[in-house]
Amino acid sequence: MRLKDKVAIITGAANGIGLAAAKTFAKEGAKVALADFDEATGTQRATELSEEGFEVAFFQVNVADRSSVDAMVQKVLGQYEKIDILVNNAGITRDGMLHKLAVEDFQKVVDVNLTGVFNCAQAVVPAMVQQGSGKIINTSSVSGVYGNVGQTNYAATKAGVVGMTKTWAKELGRKGINVNAVAPGFIETGMTAKVPEKVLEQMKMMVPLGRLGLPEDIANAYLFLASDESNYINGTTLHVDGGIMM
């Protein structure tokens, strides 16, 4: 198993890509901390995975609140005594054209998608430095690399994630910590389920592979970057987008 006995924190793990990642990591032998704001759903997911024989536990967290993040990390360390992997997967959208975008919606996305990534990474780094190893995987987006209409806030945060990833890769590499990012394209999640069918078909036509991605496609990218197979990859943003931006 590729992650045998590794301890992994995955944020936003109650649903969608985060849940797919939790299942994938658990199947590969990891002890998975499901970290999510949604306590009811997160607890249910952890129970379901535990009943399947996986070592999984839920930890409630608001990634935008540093005290909440610190408390979550300390609880994970208290239970598992180490942290090998952090997947900064939690994220939200509050879309709107620039001239209509509410300041509150801009700031909320920044708080979760950018500050939240910073909070979680900074909180786990001391433990990783002490043990001399670690993998931090941040979630960017094709929107953060190429921009997207109606996503000023989201694109800005996801571009910021790329910048932080490269910076941390330079700072932490000599301490045994690899930092990389994944940039998903259009993925079938709860968010896309609300998109009209006509728009979905247009989205699929933009992708050379002719389909939207699955949460498992992103989970597999996370798995590769979390495993020993990626030990010489550092500061990279891996696009998992079906070739949409070639």
Helical axes 16-27 vs 39-51, angle rounded to 10°: 30
Q: How far apart are the first and last CA of the chain?
A: 34
Helical axes 16-27 vs 215-226, angle rounded to 10°: 50
* Tokens describing residue 6: 């590794």
Q: In terms of DSSP H, where are the helices of the chain?
A: 16-27, 39-51, 66-80, 103-110, 116-131, 142-146, 152-172, 197-206, 215-226
Which helix (H) or strand (E) element contains residue 83? none
Our answer to whether residue 222 is catalytic in this structure is no
Residue from 80, 146, 154, 232 carrying the catalytic annotation: 154
Active site positions, annotated? 154
